[in-house]
Amino acid sequence: MRFFLIGLLMAFLINPSYGVVDCPPAITNGKLYGILPVVNQKLSYSEVADCGAVSQADLFRRARLWAAQSCHAPGDTFSLSDKETGDLVGRVSQVVTLPRSEHSAGGVYTFQYSFIIECTNRKYRATITQLDVLENGGKATPIETYCQKNEADLRVIYAALDGQIRDRLASLQEGVKNYKPF
């Protein structure tokens, strides 16, 4: 009996998930914490833009050029670049800096996500999915299950992240749809 209790105690001490609080995602009106859009319990942004009378090859070239100029953080990669199908798929980083204040300790938060650009029929569709929070040591945690002690800080971080992602999508539209030839 004594060995059983010692074994049980050791299992609790060795198990890394012991004592970790599981915090379910707070989804309100289809948005994580009322800020980030969620589709089928996963964070997802999607935007379609009609680019007029642009050929698929030129549309793809513009998207690839935009990606090369705009996604240059260490670790940003575009693993698929297929001009035949018009698909461009990559893993991109986004950094949010929360300033220190009376109510917040502040911090720098790094996020990674899949960025998919599909070019066809004079349109492109940009999709952002699989968003992860990179924690200490580079451990990736899906944003839907990310927990933080201070919910107010989390809302500020998510609002800043949402703004940055929307700015990136607007930059893509400016770089592809409103491309200025030389």
pLDDT mean for each 10 residues of the chain (182 residues):
52 48 70 86 92 90 90 84 88 88 80 93 93 84 82 86 94 88 76
| Residue 30, pLDDT score | 81
Q: Which of 16, 164, 172, 177 is nearest to 93 (CA)?
A: 164
Side chain identity at 139, as an amino acid letter? K
pLDDT at 7: 56
- pLDDT for 174: 92
What pLDDT was estimated at residue 18? 43
- Contacts of 43 by beta carbon, 8 Å cutoff, 6+ apart: 32, 36, 37, 129, 131, 143, 144
By CB atoms closer than 10 A (0-12, 13-18, 19+), residue 155 is: middle
pLDDT at 19: 41
What pLDDT sits at residue 32?
Answer: 84
Q: Determine the pLDDT at residue 24.
A: 66
